[in-house]
């Protein structure tokens, strides 16, 4: 995954502090990843679109690639909150994740293509299963396995999304477990 890893830990806004407290409570229940992702998604949704959630520096993009701002990493490594900022045309590689993940669109629109691996006589390959357009306020959550996807900004303006991972992204640098070759018709 090629991303500008900007580990900004600027002062949190009161709204971001409130979100972190709510996520801490959900994660602290110690439930399996898929159930934790569901609870965290419920906590994230009401905060999306609130102008007081992120500071201007936390909404800054980069002309080279989409930009990652690490907003919070829990001391015990149990979760991280990250803002991803996408300028038009920027996208991820096809990838999966090291942990459960919840994403919510704070500003703009994100496109997502989901995949699954299939095996045949020639080996294993990816097949696209679904295309999703996530609008401002939309939230989704998932947990490995079966979380292979690619995300991009196909709109004309900036897109900003919040990602909450069940891992210490400040230490790991990325949520990506594995990068996949896209299907032949997408190269």
- Three-state DSSP at 45 gives helix
Contact 159, 86 (CB under 8 A): yes
Q: Is the pLDDT of residue 175 over 50?
A: yes
Q: How many other C-beta atoms can be found within 10 angstroms of the C-beta atom of residue 128?
A: 17
pLDDT band at 174 (very low <50, low <70, confident <90, very high): confident
Q: C-alpha distances in angstroms, 87 versus 1, 30, 134, 187?
A: 16, 36, 15, 21
Alpha carbons 3 and 172: distance in angstroms, whole number: 13
d(CA 22, CA 36) in angstroms, rounded, equals 12
CA 147 vs. chain centroid, Å, equals: 12
pLDDT in tens, 65-115: 999 999 999 999 999 999 999 999 999 999 988 889 999 999 999 999 999
Would you state the structure tokens that stand for residue 152, as one six-digit string? Answer: 């991009």
Residue 184 pLDDT grade (very low, low, confident, very high; cuts 50, 70, 90): confident
Distance CA 101, CA 60 (A): 22
Please state, in angstroms and rounded to a whole number, the distance separating the CA atoms of residues 152 and 87: 9
Q: Is the pLDDT of residue 164 over 50?
A: yes
Task: Please give the Cα distance from 68 to 177 (Å, whole number).
Answer: 16
Please determine, for residue 4, whether its predicted confidence score (pLDDT) is greater than 50: no
DSSP code string of 120-133:
ETTEEEEEEEEEEE
Q: Give the helix ranges, DSSP H, for the chain.
A: 14-27, 33-44, 169-172
């Amino acid at each position: 995954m090629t991303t500008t890893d900007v580990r900004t830990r600027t002062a949190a806004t009161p709204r971001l502090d409130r979100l972190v407290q709510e996520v801490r409570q959900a994660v602290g229940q110690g439930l399996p990843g898929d159930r934790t992702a569901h609870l965290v998604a419920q906590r994230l949704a009401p905060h999306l679109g609130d102008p007081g959630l992120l500071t201007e520096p936390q909404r800054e993009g980069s002309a080279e690639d989409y930009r990652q701002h690490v907003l919070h990493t829990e001391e015990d490594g149990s979760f991280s909150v990250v803002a991803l900022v996408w300028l038009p045309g920027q996208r991820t590689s096809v990838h999966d994740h090291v942990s459960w993940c919840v994403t919510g669109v704070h500003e703009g629109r994100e496109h997502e293509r989901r995949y699954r691996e299939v095996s045949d006589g020639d080996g294993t390959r990816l097949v696209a299963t679904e295309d999703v357009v996530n609008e401002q306020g939309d939230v989704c959550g998932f947990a490995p396995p079966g979380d292979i996807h690619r995300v991009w900004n196909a709109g004309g303006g900036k897109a900003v999304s919040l990602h909450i991972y069940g891992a210490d992204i400040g230490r790991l640098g990325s949520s990506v477990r594995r990068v996949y070759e896209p299907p032949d018709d997408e190269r």
